[in-house]
Chain A
Amino acid sequence: MSGARRVLVVEDDALAAQTVMRVLAKAGLDGRSARTAADARAQAASWKPDVILIDRHLPDGDGVSLARALKSGGKPRLVMMSGDPLEGSEGGAFDAWLLKPVSMQELLASLGG
């Protein structure tokens, strides 16, 4: 998988994360998952993904705060995927956002590149 775009999936629900990972693998992308904001920060620093797909509600924080902490110099691309719409200035933390339920096409299109 070397050379494939790296996508970090931040999702606390294991089955939901697994489903997204399978779709990413099928599309030829290199995916990893994180179940908490702390794990996401650690993997973002060590693995340096091209895209981070973030759920809104996490066991140790919220996705909007995580996105603001992860964005540095325009990278990585940050995509919110949640059942709740973003409000006010929250959308500014992301390059794209998806409102569940999303289709495979919508998911892959949001990743850019």
Chain B
Amino acid sequence: MPDHRSPAELSSAAVHDVRGSVGSIRLAVTSVLADGDDDAEFRQMMLTTIETETRRLDAALSGLQALTDALTDSEQPERVDLGEALRQAAAQAARRQVATDVESLDAMTVTARPAALRAVIAALLGIAADGAGSVILAAKERENDVVLRIARGDATAVASERALVRSLLAALDAEATPDVDALEFRLPR
């Protein structure tokens, strides 16, 4: 189902998502600071949480930048070589410590705004990886669309319901499709 929220609503939902990571970090830090009984196991768990949430926060901030870029991009949709766009997005993600294994790119094209497509895909790769690690990006043609699928390299589930992810897809005029383990969405050919 198409997402018809306004740019302000998309941004607001995305910021709410980012505050989740900030909230976890503050909760973890204050818990460690208040730990009067020197519980090493608890401290280790909380420090691990802080490390993970810091990576997620970094990826989410890149996502916010990509969302702003996509929402303010005045380009018109055009035919885009998907393989080249995805390779550029993967290269952009690699600069932020996310390795992407790109599969199934046999001369496909989609109709999209080129810069927004690259920025949003790069951001989604980072978010799917929680800011570091590896992801698998695959594409296949289905009727009038191309379906893109981003899965984590460690086979754990991608949090595809996150508000930031939904806002990024809406900004790209992409439609999410149900997938339990991965982030999957359709772009028009």
Contacts and interface: CB of A to CB of B under 8 A. Distances in A.
A17 B34 CA distance: 20
B163 interface: yes
A20 interface: yes
A104 interface: yes
Contacts of B152: none
Contacts of B52: 15
B20, B26, B28, B30 interface centre (most CB from chain A within 10 Å): B20
Contacts of B34: 104-105
Interface residues of A, number: 25
B19 interface: yes
Interface in A52-108: 56-57, 59, 81-84, 100-105, 107
Given A26-B42, A83-B16, A102-B23, A57 B28 contact: no
A13 B20 contact: yes
A23 B23 CA distance: 13
A22 interface: yes
Contact of A104 (B15, B27, B162): B27
Nearest to B56: A15
Contacts of B46: 19, 22
A78 to B, nearest CB: 18
Contact of B22 (A20, A56, A100, A107): A100
B184 interface: no
Contact of B26 (A12, A14, A84, A101): A101
B163 A23 contact: no
B45 interface: yes
Interface string B6-23: 000000110110011111
A16 interface: yes
A14 B161 CA distance: 11
Nearest to A26: B42
A39 B176 CA distance: 23
Contacts of A12: 161
A100 B19 contact: yes
Given A15-B56, A100-B23, 6 more contacts: A13-B162, A16-B24, A20-B27, A57-B163, A82-B16, A103-B30
Interface of B: 12-13, 15-16, 19-28, 30-31, 34-35, 39, 42, 45-46, 49, 52-53, 56, 159, 161-163
Interface of A: 12-16, 18-20, 22-23, 26, 56-57, 59, 81-84, 100-105, 107
Task: Please list the 7 inter-chain residue pairs (A to B) with the smallest Cβ-Cβ separation, ordered nearest first.
Answer: A83-B19, A100-B23, A101-B26, A103-B30, A101-B23, A104-B30, A104-B31
